[in-house]
Amino acid sequence: MQHTFIEILRRALDEELARDAAVYLLGEDVAAGGAFGVTRGLAQKHGSARVRNTPISEAAITGLATGAALCGLKPVLEIMFIDFATLSMDCLVNQTAKYRYMSGGQLAVPLVVRTQAGAAGGAAAQHSQSLEAWFIHVPGLIVVAPSTPAEAYGLLKSAIRLGEPVLFVEHKRLYTMKEELAVGAELPPIGRARIAKPGTDVTVIAYSAMVQSALEAAQKLADAGISAEVIDLRTLLPLDMATIAASVSKTHRALIAHEAVLNGGVGAEIAARIGAELFDELDAPVLRVGCGFAPIPFAPQLERALLPGSADLVRAVRQIMGLAE
């Protein structure tokens, strides 16, 4: 049976609440199901003490979850939109991420901050951003961005059990995507990428919803006789350079695709590392595909014009391959 991304997240949370009494859910409207219905029914099932609504106070609830994590709870905090993580930033960057280090290993923060990012359906400039790059700049944080419902199921469970502060970035465009869930499958490890589609001519590195665009592009490229290997990063911090290196050493060409803007992005980081570590393997410059450098606009025509899609990836791969338009 197929399940949506939202249903599968709910199932993962439900199972972790049942598995570990230290797991607590909190956030704005989570007891009522959350803005997207991810936590629907969990307060009824696990009790209002385990699934708690909070005031609209991102600074305080991020601190609250961090302080509770220092004292034995394993909170899963929902920040409704990553755009509002700006209000959590002081705590996440200055406290949460640094606690283990500043205390010389005396304390840990087993905390998952679930948040939701990306553009879809006219959410416009303040509810559509892809801000994950800000967080990969911070030692001590883990950043995870799943690409499919089944991936999200395993990665969320692994994140909750990790014992480190994890920012778990869900893409709103994936929420309605459906997928089978293999029963009893091994949970994917945090910090390891996966090969979403094997190939031999070019490596396309993506994460979150852009993995779906990369797979679409790979199909179109296959029709043109180009074999693209698609890497789903899954974890953005730490980066799994071993998987990237193995692939690029085979294909000798790399494209990095994300929905975030290119400036200072995850792609810039990966491109720099490929350049430094795999220069001799490269047959072509590393290219990146990302969002146009503007806030996300409201009108559907403008939103479409700004966001990268599979056609952009196909164009970039053809450029890497030295093929004419």
Partner 1 sequence: MHDIARSLVAEPTLADWKEMYGALWRIRLFEGHVQRLAAAGEIPGFPHLSTGQEAVAVGICTQLAREDVLFTSHRGHGHVLAKGSDMEATFAEILGRQNGLCGGRGGSMHLVDATNGVLGATGVVAGNLALAAGAAWAMQAQGRENISVVFFGDGATGAGAFHETLNLAALWRLPVLFVCENNGYAEFTSREEHSNVNHVSSFAAPYGIATRTIDGNDLPAVFAAARHAIETLRRGAGPYLLECMTFRMAGHYVGDAQQYRSKEELAAIREKCPIERLRRYLVERGVNSEELDAIGERARDAVLQAVQRALEAPPPDPATVLEYVYRAPALAAIPG
Residues that bind partner 1 (CB under 8 A): 24, 49, 54-55, 57, 59-73, 90-91, 94-95, 99-108, 136, 139-140, 142, 162-164, 189-191, 237-241
Which residue in the block uniquely carries the two structure tokens 């993995």? Answer: 211
Check: CB of residue 107 under 8 Å from CB of residue 99.
yes
Distances (CA, A) of 49 to 30, 40, 53, 61, 63: 12, 15, 10, 15, 18
Strand partners, 237: 143
Pick between residue 64 and residue 284 the one whose CB is nearest to partner 1: 64
CA atoms within 13 A on the CB side of 45: 15
Pick between residue 277 and residue 283 the one whose CB is nearest to partner 1: 277
Q: At what angle do helices 266-277 and 241-251 cross, to 10 degrees?
A: 60
Q: How far is the CB of 102 from partner 1 (least distance, A)?
A: 4
Q: How far is the CB of 190 from partner 1 (least distance, A)?
A: 7
**H-type helices in the chain, by residue range?**
5-19, 42-46, 58-70, 89, 99-102, 132-135, 149-162, 210-223, 241-251, 266-277, 300-306, 310-320
Q: How far is the CB of 50 from partner 1 (least distance, A)?
A: 9
CA 80/CA 69 separation, integer angstroms: 20
Pick between residue 56 and residue 299 the one whose CB is nearest to partner 1: 56
Per DSSP, the residues of 255-300 read EEEEEEESTT-HHHHHHHHHHHHSGGG-SS--EEEEE-SSPPPSSH
Check: CB of residue 140 under 8 Å from CB of residue 92.
no
Catalytic residue among 7, 16, 28, 58: 58
CA 7/CA 169 separation, integer angstroms: 16
How remote is the C-alpha of 197 from its chain's centroid?
18
Pick between residue 99 and residue 207 the one whose CB is nearest to partner 1: 99
Single-letter amino acid, residue 325: E
Told to judge if 127 belongs to the known catalytic residues of this protein, a careful annotator would answer: yes
Q: How far is the CB of 313 from partner 1 (least distance, A)?
A: 26
Q: How far is the CB of 265 from partner 1 (least distance, A)?
A: 15
Q: What is the largest CA-CA distance in the chain?
A: 61
Pick between residue 19 and residue 304 the one whose CB is nearest to partner 1: 19
Pick between residue 65 and residue 257 the one whose CB is nearest to partner 1: 65
Pick between residue 105 and residue 322 the one whose CB is nearest to partner 1: 105
Told to judge if 259 belongs to the known catalytic residues of this protein, a careful annotator would answer: no
Instruction: State residue 75 phi and psi, 5-degree precision.
Output: -70, 145
Q: How far is the CB of 33 from partner 1 (least distance, A)?
A: 20
Q: How far is the CB of 246 from partner 1 (least distance, A)?
A: 15
Catalytic residue among 3, 46, 127, 252: 127
Which residues are known to be catalytic? 58, 127
